[in-house]
Structure 1
Amino acid sequence: MLETARNTRTDSRRDLVTELLGLWLVLAVFLDGWAHINLPSLETFFTPWHAALYSGMLATAAWTAVVIWRNRTPGQPLLQAIPPGYRGTAAGVVLFATAGGLDLLWHELLGIEVSLDALVSPTHLLLGFSLFLILGTAVRSARAAVRAAGHTGNLRLTPAAIFAVVLMTGLGAFFLIYVSAFVRPGPTALFTPTPFGSPGRNQSELPVVVTLASYLLTTALIIAPFLFTLSTAQRPARGIVTLLVLVAAWLPVAMIGLHPYSIAGAAGATIAAIVADLLLTRIPDTWLGRRLPAVTAGIAALLWTGQLVAFTVTDAIRWPVSLWLGSVVLSAAVAAGLALLSSWAPGRSARPEQGDGGGSPAVESL
């Protein structure tokens, strides 16, 4: 039993180091994105921003090699020495190296992307997928630990695994920054309703349409990982909503250049997230079962209301009330729908019962 506990602690520290290297990679990705947005004169692959990213990957590759080597017994093939959860990490490192070479070739042949095309470039998407594999290490490791222990209950997320979920959310925010509700003027922009058939109606409504879609997708980006972490424990991890909002809001806001409206909106949503986390510590367990859709709807409504309040204090809301209030209601509906889908399983209860092994002290202590 002591040996098992010792191994668990060692594995947790190992996973935490892996995720800290993942933080390096995520920050480097946003730094490179900032350079592409704010330094459009970039005409070469060899930049300080790429150096930050690729040096982080070299450090990650070296650490992964150390982890595999330490886990190897004499005479054991290296492939068999890869610890549970780290096969995806090794695959991510190899894939990143391959995608990096292809990206270099792409840039040399076709030039450097300086706009939206940089986010959907095939080589960049391949690099992003490899990073998701690396960032998910602690989650896979936690899942493997549950299987090795012979437990049949829910997955137990360690603090490193919670950190991994937050980092993956941040990386998702990077690739979806063009539909982020935190980087647009949103309801602070002037909008004049134009009747159907009037000249210029499509042009006047297009920014509003994009902003409405951004609210819905950003809501999903925050609520989906929240539901994933909640599915592994009896109670939400402390501060999880705030952590998710921090990476979904502030990293994109910093990347686009810290505009006043984006700072205000991110600050308002962050304060609302802190309030949401405080409320979650007091919410009855029964509300995390059949009433979970109401909980997630409340979180979404609180986040966007916080943003709107910040807009009102620092500038003004120029959308008609039906539009900005409707965006909050629609976002709450999306959050409720995600919760309903995540908890629906025919013949099974939505939440594990106390004592069935579904809880996680590690998550609670985050």
Structure 2
Amino acid sequence: MLETARNTSTDARRDLVTELLGLWLVLAVFLDGWAHINLPSLETFFTPWHAALYSGMLATAAWTAVVIWRNRTPGQPLLQAAPPGYRGTAAGVVLFALAGGLDLLWHEILGIEVSLDALVSPTHLLLGLSLFLILGTGVRSARAAGKPGELKHPGNPGLTPAALFAVVLMTGLGAFFLVYCSAFVRPGPTAVFVPAPVGTPGRIQSELPVVITLASYFLTTALIIAPFLFTLSTDRRPVRGIVTLLVVAAAWLPVVMVGLHPYSISGAAGATVAAVVVDVLLTRVPDAWLGRRLPAVTAGIAALLWTGQLVAFAVTDAIRWPVSLWLGAVVLSAAVAAGLALLSSWAPGRTMADASSDGAGVEHF
């Protein structure tokens, strides 16, 4: 029993170190993104920003090698020596090295991306995939150590710190690659919009920023609600502070990267305050609501977050959209959140009531 507890404690520290290295990588990615946005004269692959990223990857690769070597038993093939969850980490390191080489070749042949193309460049997407594999170590390790489908060690009633850290970091990395359609970096309802009848010249052009902003609300809602649902387990309430952590990752990292515009600061601040309120309210949500009424819970979370952003806009500037438009954005975002909750609880031959009765409201997410 004592040996098991000691091993569990050692594994937890090991996973936490891995995720701290993941934090280095995520911050380096956003630093590089900031450089590309604010220093458009970049014309070389060899920059301080790339150095921060690649040095972080070297440290991660070295740590992963140490972890695998320490776990190896005499005579065991090295490929089989990776602890549970770390085969994906090793694959991520190898993929990053491959993608990094391809990225260097891409830049030397085709030049440096300076705009939206940097986020959808195939080599950059490969780098992103490798980072997701590395950041997911805490989740994979916790799943291997706990019961199937649960993110916990035996006897631990909550998420392991490393698994929680991993979910937040992956949310932040997702926010980086989706920054061009983030509801936190656009002026949104503070921008002037005058509805024009169908057929009016220039109507499509005038509506396009609003259409993009509406789509950003829906996608950003999914970026926050999906990991929230993922952290729920069959016998545990939401982690304290989880919504605030996810909003910080999804909002503030992109806001800082794009240059701290006044509207983005106020919107992110309003959503963050709302997230704190949401986390307080979640401590009072009855257990039954996390099963049968989970869609109502997630809809309420989305509605409160965006209402907080709108209140901040109204206080610091003004809301210039028609009320039907900004209120509709909140309602549709809540519907997206509710739909994700329904999908997370659905299984063939199973209803939400069934899931609530046996405490498996989010087991299938």
What band does the TM-score fall into relative to the shorter chain?
over 0.9
Q: Which amino acid aligns with 1:51?
A: A
Q: How does 1:140-289 map to 2 (within 5 A)?
A: 140-146=140-146, 151=147, 154-156=150-152, 157-231=159-233, 233-289=235-291
Asked whether the 8 Å contact 2:32–2:49 carries over to 1, the reply is yes
Distance 1:353 1:158, change over 3 A: farther
Distance 1:351 1:22, change over 3 A: farther
Q: CA RMSD in A?
A: 1.5
Residues in 1 aligned to 2:202 and 2:149: alpha-carbon distance in whole angstroms? 57
The percentage of counterpart residues that share the same residue type is 86
Q: Find the counterpart in structure 1 of residue 88 from structure 2.
A: 88
1:83 is paired with a residue whose SS is coil
Equivalent residue, structure 1, for 2:304: 302
Deviation at 1:308, TM superposition (A): 0.1
Aligned length: 353
Instruction: Give the secondary-structure state (helix, strand or coil) at the position aligned to 1:350.
Output: helix
TM-score, normalised on structure 2?
0.94
Alignment counterpart, residue 350 of structure 1, candidates 333, 355, 359: 355
> Any idea what SS the aligned residue of 2:297 has?
helix
Displacement of 1:298 in angstroms is 0.2
Superposed CA deviations along residues 158-206 of structure 1, whole A, max 9, x for unmatched, are 1110110000000000000011000000000000101111111011000
CA contact (8 A) 2:224 2:250 kept: yes
Partners of 2:266 and 2:148 lie apart in 1 by: 46
Correspondence for 2:127: 127
Distance 1:122 1:245 in 2: 28
Which residue number corresponds to residue 51 of structure 1? Answer: 51
Following superposition, the deviation at residue 75 of structure 1 comes to 2.1
Measure, in 1, the Cα distance between the counterparts of 2:149 and 2:31.
40
Following superposition, the deviation at residue 347 of structure 1 comes to: 3.4
Higher relative contact order, chain-length normalized (CA < 8 Å, sep 6+): 1
Cα distance in 1 for partners of 2:278, 2:224 equals 13
1:77 Cα deviation from its structure 2 partner: 1.5
**CA separation of 1:228/1:241 partners in 2, compared to 1, >3 Å: closer, same or farther?**
same
Which structure 1 residue ranges, 5 or more long, are not aligned? Answer: 360-366
**For the Cα contact (< 8 Å) 1:16–1:138, is it kept in 2?**
yes
Give a deviation string over 1:106-125, Cα, whole Å, max 9, x none.
Answer: 00000000100000000000
For 2:131 and 2:325, locate their aligned partners in 1 and report how far apart those are by CA, in whole Å: 37
Aligned twin of 1:363: none
C-alpha change, 1:66 and 1:205, in structure 2 (3 Å) is same
User: Distance in 2 between the 1:249 and 1:80 partners?
Assistant: 39
The alignment's TM-score, normalised by the length of structure 1, stands at 0.94
1:14 maps to 2:17: no
CA distance in 2, matches of 1:4, 1:184: 50
Change (3 A) 1:323 1:142: same
Which AA in structure 1 matches 2:257? M
Q: Deviations over 1:123-165 (max 9, x none)?
A: 000000000000000111011112xxxx457442311101100
Rounded Cα–Cα distance in structure 2 between residues aligned with 1:55 and 1:153: 34
